[in-house]
Structure 1
């Protein structure tokens, strides 16, 4: 995909993320792997005001275009691409229920078989670090090696996939899981979970399951 088309897809992903209720204002950010680096949303710009020329290219060494300022979270997007060569798109947001679970510092356990969307038996929560810092990028790099979706403590969600549509789908699925988990925690601290054996069966099935979108 050429730069103009991919930039348009990034903007459309941002707008759809808001439409789905997964983000508020300018809080989230979206990127896609491109030309040895990545294309990423700019810092602090409302999605509806973006055009293709606003999207920022950041190279593999972390250098970005003169006259443009990438999202303050570009470091952890870069860290995802370094850690996971199999993933080409990253969606980050402050979805309400994912953020609530992250404030509790909890991973989302195997409360439902859809937890396998991340590729493991839970959705991890990485430790807190100030937004935009190398330390947060370090935590993200560690967490994303476990799961394609991770919570950031006191912050929000990262979902990474082979393309933007899959990444947004993953983010939405994890927000549903987080919604169930928050509601269950309001009833009991002893939330039932699936057995490790069953999750392994589900993970095997998930090798051919999911959103049927071409890479």
Structure 2
């Protein structure tokens, strides 16, 4: 089996996993995998639980559609992230409930989008960036995502949901799940005295696990 065929199967399997875990619903969300000469992305208006390997959209290195079904209207998000993150092998974008809820909160400028509640949030997600709201499909969103994706593998689109880049689909999934669980903790702890990790504890984790 060729590398591209394996990538097609892996992307479809990941769509099923995300749907089964309740991280996507309906026809929301989109996925992509980097190839040597471009990437594969999920088609528009298709449930991630029902992907067909042969019908995945294929884009060239410049993001032009070269095969398969019409790509997601948000494929440009993937293009922008790949452009500025050469280490990214896959990208997952969802509207997962608790992460999307965090994206709808009022955030103080300069404050963390989510507090560093656990070590694994710091290790897998790191510094989460928040991008201002633009309607789905608005290409101005591409410029905003490109600007922050240079330094952030995890991006939260305001009133929308997360975009997570990883070395592989599995890495991106683990980061997405950690973000979703931390968002749940954030709401569970609302109104309770909370002790996030200190700046020194975060720095130690980054030095050991993210250097």
TM-score (norm 2): 0.89
Structure 2 matches for 1:101-116, cutoff 5 A? 101-106=102-107, 107-116=113-122
Q: Distance in 2 between matches of 1:46 and 1:198?
A: 40
Q: Does 1:54 align with 2:55?
A: yes
Q: Does 1:197 align with 2:200?
A: yes
Offset of residue 119 of structure 1:
5.9
In structure 1, the partner of 2:95 is: 94
Q: Is the contact between residue 58 and residue 65 of structure 1 (CA under 8 Å) also seen in structure 2?
A: yes
Offset of residue 59 of structure 1:
1.3
Structure 2 matches for 1:63-212, cutoff 5 A? 63-65=64-66, 68-106=69-107, 107-118=113-124, 120=126, 122-185=127-190, 187=191, 191-207=194-210
In structure 2, the partner of 1:213 is: none
Note closer, same or farther for the CA distance 1:48–1:176 as it changes in structure 2 (3 Å cut): closer
Q: Is the contact between residue 123 and residue 205 of structure 2 (CA under 8 Å) also seen in structure 1?
A: no
Offset of residue 178 of structure 1:
0.8
Offset of residue 194 of structure 1:
1.8
Q: Distance in 2 between matches of 1:75 and 1:126?
A: 15
Q: Which runs of 4+ in 1 moved over 6 A?
A: none
- Kindly report the root-mean-square deviation, in angstroms, between the aligned alpha carbons of the 2 structures: 1.9
Offset of residue 199 of structure 1:
0.4
Q: Which runs of 5+ in 2 are unaligned?
A: 108-112
Q: Distance in 1 between matches of 2:123 and 2:144?
A: 21
Once the two structures are overlaid, the 10-residue window that deviates more, 103-112 or 10-19, is 103-112
Q: Distance in 2 between matches of 1:174 and 1:79?
A: 21
Note closer, same or farther for the CA distance 1:147–1:115 as it changes in structure 2 (3 Å cut): farther
Q: Secondary structure at the match of 2:66?
A: coil
Q: Is the contact between residue 115 and residue 123 of structure 1 (CA under 8 Å) also seen in structure 2?
A: no
How far does the alpha carbon of each residue in 1:64-111 deviate from its partner, in whole angstroms, 9 at most, with x for none?
Answer: 025620011100001110010011100110110000000115411212
Offset of residue 128 of structure 1:
0.9
In structure 1, the partner of 2:13 is: 12
Q: How many residues align?
A: 205
Note closer, same or farther for the CA distance 1:159–1:105 as it changes in structure 2 (3 Å cut): farther
